[in-house]
Amino acid sequence: MRAGYVTSVIAGILGLLPAAGLMVRLFIIQHDCGHGSLFSSRKANDWLGRVLGIFTFTPYEYWRLQHAGHHATSGNLDKRGIGDVETLTVEEYLERGKFGRTMYRLYRHPVVMFGLGPSYMFILRHRLPIGSMKSGLKPWISAFATNLGIAVVSAIIIFITGWKIFLFVYLPIIVLAATIGMWLFYVQHQFDETQWDRKGDWQRDTAALHGSSFYDLPKPLMWISGNIGIHHVHHLSSRIPFYKLPDVIKDHPELKQIGRLTLWDSFKAVKLTLWDEEQRKLISFRDLSLKLQSSPA
């Protein structure tokens, strides 16, 4: 009896990962709807995006607004903070006091960045369109309509399966999917060969091609993640639907070597936390310490 219970628990835990993977793929479909690239009809894109937002815990109009800002400013040092991972320059970090440095270190810690942060973002922060006060009612309507949809779906799940399934199966799937999604978003721009420029030198196409990675994952993981790892191509032309991104790489093989990251390479990117404007690359906190020790007082 006990052995059977343990087996069931293990099987349930193992089943969370593929379920979370499918949730990530749903988000990629919603993502393409936001870019208007999945269907030729804007209405079809918008309505599918809104419905999927209920299951991905992501209010469609609010997210689309934030994400459009990300595409418009990615790689621009003077316009950071719009739908991206907060990244300080070395100078900005050193100008902060002890408390400010500690808070930034906590923010960039893997436990926060890939654990607490994604859960907070998708489960709590997306419930209110914070930062969109000047964008009219649409983000607010989107957030509250999505919240209502989430409440209805959650009530149905609890009614049919019970609150234990909801609490120990459905919510963990959301949390795990959020973590996977955050990881993908992180390595798409936070990697060794990424590029950032000040406003005067920033060019959209250059930032798109060299400031976004090609996350060369195994084919099963590429399918689950909706080919979003071909991110440099996506930033060059966001109207290319996710299922056609591999065709672009196939037709233009020279793109395979630009910003390429393997699965192993991506783990090394976690330590990169600060942009060094002198060296024009991301460095770690340890790199900064060594640099300061070797510099004249």
pLDDT in tens, 177-220: 999 999 999 999 999 999 999 998 999 999 999 999 999 999 99
CA triplet 121, 193, 177: central angle to 5 degrees?
Answer: 25
Closest to 62 measured CA to CA, from 143, 124, 119, 144:
143
Are 233 and 248 within 8 A, CB to CB?
A: yes
- Global pTM? 0.91
Q: How confident is the model at residue 80 (pLDDT cuts 50, 70, 90)?
A: confident
Residue 51: how many other CB atoms lie within 10 Å: 14
Three-class SS of residue 289? helix
**Sheet order of strands, 88-89 included:** 88-89, 274-276, 281-283
Residue 130 has pLDDT above 80, yes or no: no
| Confidence grade of residue 135 (pLDDT, cut at 50, 70, 90) | confident
Instruction: Classify residue 274 by its DSSP letter.
Output: E
